[in-house]
Amino acid sequence: MLYQINKGTKYFGANLIFENIQFEVKNTEKIAIVGRNGAGKTTLLKAITDEEVLDFGQIHKSNDLNIGYLAQTTFTDINKTVMDELLTLFSSVIELKNEIDNIIVLMKDDHSDKILERYAFLQEQFERNNGYNYQIEIKTVFMKFGFDEEDLFRPLSTFSGGQKTRIAFVKLLLSKPDILLLDEPTNHLDLQTIQWLESYLKTYPKAVILVSHDRVFLDAIANVVYELEYTKLTKYIGNYTEYSNQKKIQLEKQEIAYKNQQQEIERLEALIEKFRYKKNKAAFAQSKIKYLDRMEKIQLDKLDKRNFHAHFQPRIKGGRRVLVLDQFTIGYDHPLCTVNLEVMAKDRIAIMGANGTGKSTLIKSIVNKLRPLSGAALFGHQIEIGYFDQELAQIDSAKTVLEELWDDNPQLDKTSIRTTLGNFMFSNDDVFKQVQVLSGGEKVRLSLAKLMLRKANLLLLDEPTNHLDILGKEALEDALMDYEGTIIFVSHDRYFIKKIATSILLIEDNTATYYPFNYQEFILQQENATCDQVKRIKTQSNKVDNKNKEKKDHLKLEKQIAEKETELENLRNKRFEPEFYHDYQKMQELDDMIDDVHNQIECLMALWEESYQ
């Protein structure tokens, strides 16, 4: 047992956050904590890190337990380079290397058993502490978070606040704490980084506790789920989908048992009422009364099923051809990509790509929030636009919730506005709250209420699920699935993309590529793209010299080959780690991974050779 909370209770003022909870972390468990926004998940994480003190209960943890939490990862000297900051995590390895170097010098003249034994011992310690690979690991993790290798040698002071947060995340992962705590780790990460982080955490050799509303992410990592609901903490074994299924089955059994018990209680009460006043049956009636008093009554669990109810309905149908992007070049001081695209009625297009490639820029350019560098966006007949902006959704206004929505829709009466707000979970005094004091999730719901009342037949959505909890995401998905109009959206939520999108627009390497099929087929095509020619429609129309393009493709293949060779070397080095050579099954899995990477390298090499022909 690494860590345990026994009968933990926490209040904020008079508000009870959780009560008499049991929580434990064992070995290398990957634990997800789920629940509604405001249920107390982050409070529980802070209690684990001692940032918050329990009001009642005991905490038990193993000696010298190292718990890592992103909020606690700080930089003491922002004038240091990133590499110098990250190397502080490996000071013991660097000291070992220095001592080994010193002994190598001494061994030129001293060949005694003592110095040879010391050298062998230090080498073993150096290997055990990943001495030969830690610099590769630093570069790999750092670059996976969207940085270039040369950024390692820049001072921390030259990075933005968001970049510093990502560097702190890199430092946390490299520190490899005994328990790694992550609160919404996928926020503001692109899909490629999220997928890499999934793989990293699945094989993380220690325990992980995470809070996330990303259902695919939870499914990929978690093997234990704790649900925090109405101050109770309930444990389930399995990933998020297994937890959902277990809970559903558990509730169905509970409802059946409750219904059967209520029928039995009614039967017994009827018998008691029938015989309690008859002398020869009074004892029988009393025995049934005592039986009822002793009966352990089944209580139905209190469920938090509150959710908003949106109904997006176009005011008018609009034309069949919704939007044509003709040589539509987007960017700021330089072009990001050029798009040629025809959007038809009822299309649901997900715009995907790494951070910084131009996804939000494209949406903003279509709605004329940004001027395109060239080209045109031509809208069809009677097309009315509804726009959701992830930044504008975080409204900072002194108006009340009621005023904010009513000022946006002055043609509606107060009853209609109150009804709409009620559907989006703003009831009673909630409507008189100032917008600026609302939580992130509440502001998103208010923005979605505004969007719904626009009754547009074309929705352009930029990260609409940010700040929504899982039930909120499901409510939005259901509403959009029933929508009769056209949707173009940006999202990093794979479950949301999978459910909503009928086609994909991928922005990558300054090229926009349209895939006329859903997310599942897109992923299948991407997985086979290395060795199979993918049939796709190009929307990038920049006139690039063929020779330059071939050279670029060739260099890209060389980079991919180098990355795969590094990955292969890292996997081969794992064969010498006790975790693998003492476990036949793990060694077999490792060998399969090595074979797979080796095959990928051969395939890339074949493509590299073809690029010269």
Quote the mean pLDDT of the chain: 88
Question: Where does a domain end: 275, 294, 313?
Answer: 294
Cα–Cα nearest to 166, from 156, 177, 176, 180: 156
Are residue 380 and residue 509 in the same domain, yes or no?
yes
Residue 159 has pLDDT above 50, yes or no: yes
Q: Is residue 67 part of a domain?
A: no
* Domain shared by 444 and 591, yes or no: no
Residue 400 is classified by DSSP as B
Residue 132 confidence class, pLDDT cut points 50, 70, 90 = confident
307 part of a folded domain: no
What is the predicted pLDDT for the residue at 3?
95
Residues 462 and 364 in one domain: yes
CB atoms within 10 A of CB 350: 27
**Residue whose C-alpha is closest to residue 339's, from 357, 355, 316, 354:** 357
* pLDDT given for residue 108 in this prediction: 83
- Which CATH number is 492's domain given? 3.40.50.300
User: Over 50: is that where the pLDDT of 535 sits?
Assistant: no
The domain boundary, picked from 516, 538, 560, lies at: 538
Whether the pLDDT of residue 345 is over 50: the answer is: yes
Whether 386 and 460 map to the same domain: the answer is yes
Q: pLDDT tens for residues 306-325? A: 889 999 999 999 999 999 99
Over the stretch 547-571, which tens digit does the pLDDT of each residue have?
555 666 667 777 888 888 888 888 8
pTM: 0.74
Same structural domain, 518 and 552: no
pLDDT in tens, 165-208: 889 999 999 999 999 999 888 877 888 889 899 999 999 999 99
d(CA 105, CA 472): 65
- 362 shares its domain with 482: yes
Residue 543 has pLDDT above 50, yes or no: no
| 495 in the same domain as 387 | yes
Same domain for 386 and 533?
yes
φ, ψ of residue 460 in degrees (nearest 5) = -115, 110
Query: What is the dihedral angle through the alpha carbons of 278, 279, 280, 282, rounded to the nearest 10 degrees?
Result: 70
Count of structural domains, the chain: 3
Same domain, 566 and 495: no
Residues β-bridged to residue 249: none
Are 534 and 551 within one domain? no
559 falls within a domain: yes
Cα–Cα distances in Å, from 33 out to 208, 240, 336, 405, 458? 11, 10, 39, 34, 37
Could you read off the pLDDT of 79-112 as tens digits, one per residue? 999 999 999 999 999 999 999 999 888 888 888 8
pLDDT at 254 over 90: no
Same domain for 467 and 566? no
Say if 127 falls within a structural domain: no
Residue 265 lies in a domain: yes
Q: In angstroms, how far apart are the furthest CA atoms of the chain?
A: 111
Q: Do 383 and 492 share a domain, yes or no?
A: yes
* Res. 76: pLDDT tops 50: yes
Average pLDDT over residues 267-288: 86
Residue 537 has pLDDT above 60, yes or no: no
With contact defined as beta carbons under 8 Å apart, do 54 and 167 qualify?
no
**pLDDT for residue 544 is more than 50:** no
> Cα–Cα distance between 262 and 298 in angstroms, integer?
9
**Over 50: is that where the pLDDT of 533 sits?**
no
Residue 545's pLDDT is 45
Question: pLDDT-derived band of residue 483, with 50, 70 and 90 as boundaries?
Answer: very high
- Domain range holding 253? 243-294
Alpha-carbon gap, residue 518 to 84, rounded angstroms: 45
What are the pLDDT digits (tens) for 226-236?
Answer: 999 989 999 99
Q: Which of 10-24, 298-312, 360-374, 392-406 has the lowest mean pLDDT?
A: 298-312
What's the mean pLDDT in 488-514?
95
Q: Compute φ and ψ for 339, nearest 5 degrees.
A: -120, 130
Could you say which of 488, 504, 538 is where a domain stops? 538
